Structure 1
Amino acid sequence: KILVPESGPAVGSFGDVALDKAAAQRATKFLAARDQAHLFQILDFAPELTEWAESSILFERLQPEPRLVICGAGHVGAALARLASLTGYKVTLIDDRADFVVRDRFPDDRIELIAAENWNDAVRQAIGNGRGVSVAVVTRGHNEDEECLRAVITTDADYVGLIGSKRRTNIVLHRLREVGAELEKLRKVHAPVGLDIGAVTPEEVALAILAEMVAERRGGTGGSLSSWRRESGWEKRNK
């Protein structure tokens, strides 16, 4: 077996230096394509290695346990925390209002609750190195959004989303740019966060947010699975 990280040298060996090198190069392309698993014939990516003509290698993507850090424990944040926990995320819910992050509201002990005295410190500590971490900024106002997002964009979180209308999110992003936030970091923020499913209730908004996060993590498009039927002309052929 060989373990090929997204950055850094490969670890392990198949006992053949040439195969190790070819497999590591193919693994880099595999990771970029965002597939979860694929069985490759060795000759497909290393035709010169004829001695391996009858062999294949299974490439699998290994991912850390998905984590979700939610800034804001209001209606949407609460709904998102509960839904994400049900779908396998390790959830950290942060709010600067201590009475919003109590076990009476969230009996699920898989949801970590943090009462923040300082948004910056609490958010950065919760995110850590950012590997496998999604962040949803769903606070109660511009100022809190800005404070949280300022902390978030200093990390390497895999996904960052900011709730709000186009106008509200533009205000926050513009303010951060004015105080020196890197444009490249701001470009990566999903704002407004979520897929367009016509969400109205807090639970529906939470679903839209989580759907986008999963699509981002799994390499999905966020489109309708049935669209192929219309695009392929299936309906015309079956009239």
Structure 2
Amino acid sequence: MRRADRLFQIIQVLRRSSRPMTAAALAEEIETSRRTIYRDITDLIGQRVPITGEAGVGYVLDRSYDMPPLMLTPDEIEAIVLGSQWVAGLGDKTLASAAKDVLGKIAAVIPENLRPHIARPSVGLRPFTPPPRDDIDTNALRQAIRDDRKVRMHYCAESGEESTRIIWPVVLGYDATLRMLIAWCELREGFRHFRTDRIVSIEVLAEGNGLRKGELLRRWTRWREAQPPYAMPK
């Protein structure tokens, strides 16, 4: 790897990390030696890149540091293309359009020599059947999640039993076969997973969940990590 590419990669790794990265961890990810990482970190600091930390403790990139956002490598471009192909096949029209718009924006500003990686990528997905169609407004659900709003939901379980619940939506999950809404259910007093094709209707309420930003997601993450493998309550 060229030195310039390695320096750029160190910044990228530090930028996406929420915790201090040791030289050993950086060396393993970038596939170089710790001695090289120490030297590169010193050079970056000398170039006024705001990296703080020390050997044995780890390094952190100041969150205020900004780089030109489209200094992309061919691998990064093709990762975006692959992700966009997957999103486009999910059956969510809004996200599919957003994915196409992202590719269009990237293609408009990257150098000419990189554009073939979008027009003729070396990666691709096999065709798959999109998730079952549902009639709920996923845009409203995503906005409720962003705003930490409660939602009144009318739901039909697999057994055919119908119920109305007040939920605190956490994440709208997607895979190749279905969409799943993860939420705290006031009725069951616990986290539950609801298939969106079984949701009859939703109403986003003005009332918030009363938690600090991100706290509901952290609670769900801890709950999920404590569950037995393959546990998926519905």
Structure 1-normalised TM-score? 0.28
Higher relative contact order (CA 8 A, sep 6+): 1
More strand by share: 2
